[in-house]
């Protein structure tokens, strides 16, 4: 099955002969959200196969007009929820429904660089779904980038860096504020990030996760992860550059954090800035900027594809939901 949509082209990236992302335009028969939910349910298996192969699918022209409509589509996919409240995400978000929340509350001029969702923590979702409730007047695309393609490029341009990533893994250091900092893309407070009320509880949680930590004078909390894998092997054998290095190196800059110091190899040794430049350039070269139209829904495989957020002007409301 699958019809009720047809494939369209939008100057995508080419990866191993197929276009990335896969873009579907809805036919008129998907006229209301009930029809969409039934169609998604009926095609669940095929959609998930296409997602695993291509990494991202954009659905355009669906009659999804509200957060509740989006919630319907999310539920119709029939996958378990990955809850933001229990995650260790650093982003400030607001829930609309139990499964749907605002993607990131950081100010419009702040760019959120390419990353695999929550790959800087030991727990991450396998898939993400985005919904454009309101397209911005300019900018605000969601960059999407295949990490298998990035890894192939890096193996040519920086083989030594790749083998150190593979052997050592990487660590991330982030200073979390005592209360939410809405000016930052990493502004979630340590209370909320760790789901704790007291410092003692925070310490217990971090210790259980294998993090190192240090309290700072303003009650902010510097936390360093254990060595986390930087390269991952997918079920089908493909190797991917699965981590949060680009976002951390380019973007974890705020009143508390210095971006270039936020990452290291797993043994604690610094990653050369020249290597990180090669990584960031490869990411930009291989990125497809998804230009949102109001009503668009996109499904992203978090193990295969990185995402981010370009700066924008005007209002932009993109909602998200995560799958376990
Ligand atoms: Fe994200």
Distances (CA, A) of 283 to 121, 143, 151, 307: 21, 10, 10, 10
Q: Of 49-63, 73-87, 91-105, where does the model show the most confidence?
A: 49-63
41: pLDDT confidence band, cut at 50, 70 and 90?
very high
What's the CA-to-centroid distance between 110 and ligand 1, angstroms?
13
What's the confidence (pLDDT) of residue 151?
Answer: 97
- Token pair of 141 as six digits: 């695309």
pLDDT surpassing 90 at residue 249: yes
44 C-alpha to ligand 1 centroid (Å): 24
- Res 257 pLDDT > 70: yes
Q: How far apart are CA 25 and CA 33, in angstroms?
A: 15
pLDDT of residue 11: 66
Specify the range with the lowest mean pLDDT, choosing from 90-104, 121-135, 252-266: 90-104
**Do the Cβ atoms of 133 and 127 come closer than 8 Å?**
no
Cα–Cα dist 179/189, whole Å: 5
Determine the pLDDT at residue 14. 73
Exposure b/e, 132-141, CB count within 10 A at least 16 = b: bbebbeebbb
Q: Does 131 score more than 70 pLDDT?
A: yes
Distance 116 CA to ligand 1 centre (A): 7
Q: What pLDDT does residue 6 have?
A: 81
- pLDDT value for 254: 85
Q: Ligand 1 mean position to 1 CA, how many Å?
A: 31
What integer best gives the mean pLDDT of the chain? 91
Give the pLDDT band of residue 226 (cuts 50, 70, 90).
Answer: very high
Tell how far the Cα of 3 is from the centroid of ligand 1, in angstroms: 30
Q: Give the residue from 263, 205, 238 showing the smallest Cα distance to 55.
A: 238
Structure tokens at 290: 């998804």
Q: For the segment 4-26, what is each residue's pLDDT rounded down to a tens digit?
A: 778 877 666 677 677 889 999 98
Place of tokens 């779904």: 129
Q: How many CB atoms lie within 10 A of CB 27?
A: 13
Task: Dump pLDDT digits (tens) for 274-295.
Answer: 999 999 999 999 999 999 999 9
Taking the centre of ligand 1 as the mean of its atom positions, its distance from the CA of residue 16, in whole angstroms, is 25
Average pLDDT over residues 292-302: 96
- Ordered structural domains, the chain, with CATH: 5-147+290-302+313-323 (3.60.130.10), 148-283 (3.60.130.10)
Q: Which helix (H) or strand (E) holds 310?
A: none
Question: What is the whole-number distance in angstroms between the Cα of residue 12 and the centre of ligand 1?
Answer: 21
Distance from the CA of 162 to the center of ligand 1, in angstroms? 23
Query: What spacing in Å lies between the alpha carbon of 305 and ligand 1's midpoint?
Result: 11
Q: What percentage of the chain exceeds 70 in pLDDT? A: 97
């Amino acid at each position: 099955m699958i019809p009720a949509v047809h494939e369209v082209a939008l100057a995508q990236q080419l990866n191993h002969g197929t276009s990335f992302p896969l873009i579907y335009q809805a036919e008129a028969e998907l006229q209301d959200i009930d029809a969409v939910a039934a169609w998604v349910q009926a095609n669940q298996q095929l959609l998930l196969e296409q997602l695993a192969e291509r990494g991202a699918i954009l659905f355009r022209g669906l009659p999804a007009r509200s957060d509740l409509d989006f919630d319907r589509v999310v539920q119709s996919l029939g996958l378990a929820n990955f809850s933001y409240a229990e995650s260790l995400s650093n982003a400030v978000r607001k829930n609309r429904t139990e499964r749907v929340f605002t993607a990131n509350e950081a100010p419009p001029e702040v760019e959120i660089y390419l990353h695999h969702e929550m790959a800087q923590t030991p727990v991450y979702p396998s898939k993400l779904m985005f919904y454009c409730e309101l397209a911005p007047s300019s900018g605000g695309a969601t960059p999407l980038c295949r990490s298998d393609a990035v890894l192939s490029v890096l193996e040519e341009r920086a083989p030594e860096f790749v083998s150190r990533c593979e052997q050592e893994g990487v660590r991330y250091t982030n200073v979390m504020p005592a209360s939410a900092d809405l000016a930052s893309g990493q502004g979630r407070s340590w209370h909320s990030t760790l789901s704790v009320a007291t410092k003692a509880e925070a310490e217990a949680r971090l210790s259980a996760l294998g993090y190192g930590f240090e309290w700072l004078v303003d009650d902010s909390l510097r936390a360093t992860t254990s060595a986390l894998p930087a390269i991952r092997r997918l079920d089908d054998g493909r190797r991917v550059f699965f981590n949060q290095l680009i976002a951390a190196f380019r973007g974890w800059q705020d009143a508390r954090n210095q971006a270039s110091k936020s990452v290291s190899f797993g043994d604690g040794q610094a990653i050369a800035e020249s290597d990180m430049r090669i990584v960031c350039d490869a990411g930009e070269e291989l990125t497809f900027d998804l230009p949102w139209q109001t009503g668009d829904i996109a499904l992203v495989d978090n193990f295969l594809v990185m995402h981010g957020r370009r700066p924008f002007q005007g209002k932009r409301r993109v909602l998200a939901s995560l799958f376990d």
